[in-house]
Chain A
Amino acid sequence: MLLHLVRRTAILVASLAVSSVVVFGFMVLLPGDPARVALGVNASEEAVGRLRAEFGLDRPLVEQYASWVSGLLRFDLGRSYVSQVEIAPQILHRLQVTLWLVVCAMLVALVIAVPMGTLMAVRHRRPSGFLLSALSQVGVAVPAFLAGILLITVFAVRLGWLPANGWTPPNEDPAQFLRQLVLPVLSLGLVQGAVLTRYVRSSVLDVQREDYIRTARAKGLGPFRALWRHGFRNAAVPVVTVLALQLSTLLIGAVVVERVFVIPGLGSLLLDQVSNRDLVFVQDIVMLLVVAVLLVNFLVDVLYVVIDPRLRAGHS
């Protein structure tokens, strides 16, 4: 158990270090000087030189990297070259908005996927199972931004029940916040739910073939009861893995959905900074997204051991 934890932590730290070098190197190695890019082609050499000195771009690369990483560790990301605003508070503010979307979408996905996937597995040879399976295939094929546009057309344009876009912070007007949250969360959550459903189905199908479920059924438990009592914990391990992998899809999916619904989240911030050509800001946001994905993967690996005691025995 402890060995497993130490090993995983070492992998996490190494991954974080390598990815920070990759992100930093990517932005440094690419053609174009960030100061020149920020000021535009018409800026004088003098102005570019001043900006380079002000932001330490004239220092050796190793020094620049070290100061960037130490800034990341303290979450002090300095100011933007282009807009001169403090980067860290901006990111934190926008991250809250995106987290609302991602967490709610994940809940929606789970609420859809666990019952649907189980039903599909238990009924997999019957027409109802086949129908649900076909439905989930269609769901997987619809990208979240398309789902968003379709939902807007139905619920905002045709029925007029919900606003087509916008964002109100929850502490300002909770009712409006919820109304505006519904469509973006559904467009992210329905699609992820369809993907997750297929994994739940195959995971439950695997578990159903196990001897302990057969024994439970032979003792007289119904198919759902047997699964509930003995199967779900076992089926959960692969599903949790997929759920974690989906987090990165959701975070990135949120970028596009935020654009559809005009939501001021992290994705919109990233896209705005890309069009502002603010490379350092882009670098910080990308790194934050990568850190989030790596951290979640790490937590899931640790969580396995909690879900499945057999792994605990295997590693101790």
Chain B
Amino acid sequence: MSAQPAGPIDPTRVAGQPRVRRRPGPSLVVGGSIVAAVVLMALLSFVWTPHDPTLVNAAARLRDVGDPEHWLGTDKFGRDVLSQVLVGARTTLFVGVVAVGVAGLLGVPLGVVAAMAPRWVGETLMRAMDLLLAFPALLLAIMFSAVYGGSTLVAMIAIGIATVPSFARIVRSGALQVLSTEYVLAARAAGRRSWGIGLRHVLPNVSSLVIVQASVAFAIAVLAEAALSFLGYGTPPPTPSWGRMLQESQELLFSAPRLAFVPGLAIAVAVLGFNLLGDGLRDRYDPRLEDRR
């Protein structure tokens, strides 16, 4: 163990003094680059795709990778795979942002409240979070789809709700640590109200935990969206989605396995990117883990 203080807070850092700059670790660099690439792909798809991703073209069915007109080939309807992957990145990021946003907006305040409220309120909230953990994202989404039918919105909300407990737990444990510090005691002695302490001291100090958790949750959201679209409960056609591309490729596994490789690779690389980014950020923000890398 290093002699560094535990937890997200760094009391050795005096306000106003710059943080000591450390070189970003390899996880942060690789993860950050992958995530940046996915974001760029999604942005690019707004202004340019080689072809219309939804254009059905019977004359160009099942072109192979390396085709001069279709670099990553075409699917069974003659749709351009590269264009679909680019627009699919947009779908994936959109679902991720909304799902993580829902989870953060609900989970962070719940975590802070659970830490600051009377003990029984906090315990009850945390038990409720434990219970929510028994409903994984995919199960919730399937339940929602059973009634509302599959759609991107249903997928996003279900994934978001299922990710709330992880935010609430992490924020609560971070908030409890902040609340035991002397500056919070001083703020209390100075007569600052609870919500003032929550906003001024607790929230800023748990923000690094929230960022790390958001990155990890993003990876989970990407996986869940892909699985849902694969099952046919996610993004409805014709909007391209990596999960549905995989599902459509399955019947052609014997003749054109590349149709599965391209979206599969996109999913795996994106998830890897967000996981690595989360690891890298955690290494950077949590000095306890320094000697673990």
Contact = CB atoms under 8 A, between A and B. Distances in A.
Q: Are A and B genuine complex partners?
A: yes
Interface of A: 11, 14-15, 18-19, 22, 26-27, 30-32, 124, 137-138, 140-143, 145-146, 149-150, 152-153, 157, 164, 202, 205, 209, 245, 248-249, 252, 255-256, 259-260, 270-271, 273-274, 277, 279, 282, 286, 289-290, 293-294, 297
B95 interface: no
A294 B264 CA distance: 33
B268 A256 contact: no
Interface string B1-29: 10000000000000000000000000000
Given A274-B146, A279-B146, A286-B139, A150 B264 contact: yes
A11 B227 contact: no
B147 A32 contact: yes
B138 A143 contact: no
28 contacts: A14-B127, A15-B127, A22-B131, A30-B147, A30-B148, A137-B276, A138-B272, A140-B271, A141-B219, A141-B272, A142-B271, A145-B246, A149-B249, A150-B264, A153-B253, A157-B254, A249-B136, A252-B138, A252-B139, A256-B138, A271-B231, A274-B142, A274-B146, A274-B233, A282-B143, A286-B139, A286-B142, A290-B139
Contacts of B223: 143
Contacts of B226: 143, 146
A280 to B, nearest CB: 11
B146 A252 contact: no
B235 to A, nearest CB: 16
B250 interface: yes
Given A146-B246, A153-B253, A256 B136 contact: no
Interface of B: 1, 127-128, 130-131, 133-136, 138-139, 142-143, 145-148, 219, 223, 226-227, 230-231, 233, 246, 249-250, 253-254, 257, 260, 264, 267-269, 271-272, 275-276, 292
Contacts of A245: 133
A31 B147 contact: yes
B136 A142 contact: no
A141 B142 contact: no
Interface centre among B1, B143, B249, B267 (most CB of A within 10 A): B143
A270 B142 contact: yes
A290 B135 contact: yes
B131 A15 contact: yes
Contacts of B143: 26, 282, 286
A273 B233 CA distance: 13
Contacts of A279: 146-147
A141 B131 contact: no
A294 B134 contact: yes
Contacts of B269: 141
Nearest to B255: A157
B147 A256 contact: no
Given A142-B268, A153-B253, 17 more contacts: A15-B127, A22-B131, A30-B148, A137-B276, A141-B219, A141-B271, A142-B271, A143-B268, A145-B230, A146-B264, A146-B268, A149-B246, A152-B253, A248-B133, A277-B146, A282-B146, A290-B139
A27 B253 CA distance: 38
A158 to B, nearest CB: 8
A183 to B, nearest CB: 12
Contact of B231 (A137, A256, A282): A256
Contacts of B231: 255-256, 259, 271
A137 B275 contact: yes
B159 to A, nearest CB: 12
A197 to B, nearest CB: 14
Contacts of B257: 153, 157
Contacts of B148: 30
Given A150-B264, A277-B146, A18 B250 contact: no
A146 to B, nearest CB: 5
A77 B215 CA distance: 42
A205 B66 CA distance: 46
A113 B230 CA distance: 28
B139 A149 contact: no
Contact of B131 (A19, A150, A273): A19
B1 A290 contact: no
Contacts of A143: 223, 226-227, 267-268, 271
A273 B146 CA distance: 8
B51 to A, nearest CB: 25
Contact of B292 (A141, A202, A271): A202
Nearest to A121: B292
A196 B39 CA distance: 29
B87 to A, nearest CB: 20
Nearest to A282: B146
A151 to B, nearest CB: 11
A286 B135 CA distance: 9
A245 B227 CA distance: 19
Contacts of B142: 255, 270-271, 274, 282, 286
A256 B227 contact: yes
B225 to A, nearest CB: 10
B254 to A, nearest CB: 5
Nearest to A292: B134
A247 B73 CA distance: 39
Given A140-B275, A146-B267, A256-B231, A15 B253 contact: no
Q: Which of B142, B145, B223, B226 has the most CB of A within 10 A?
A: B142
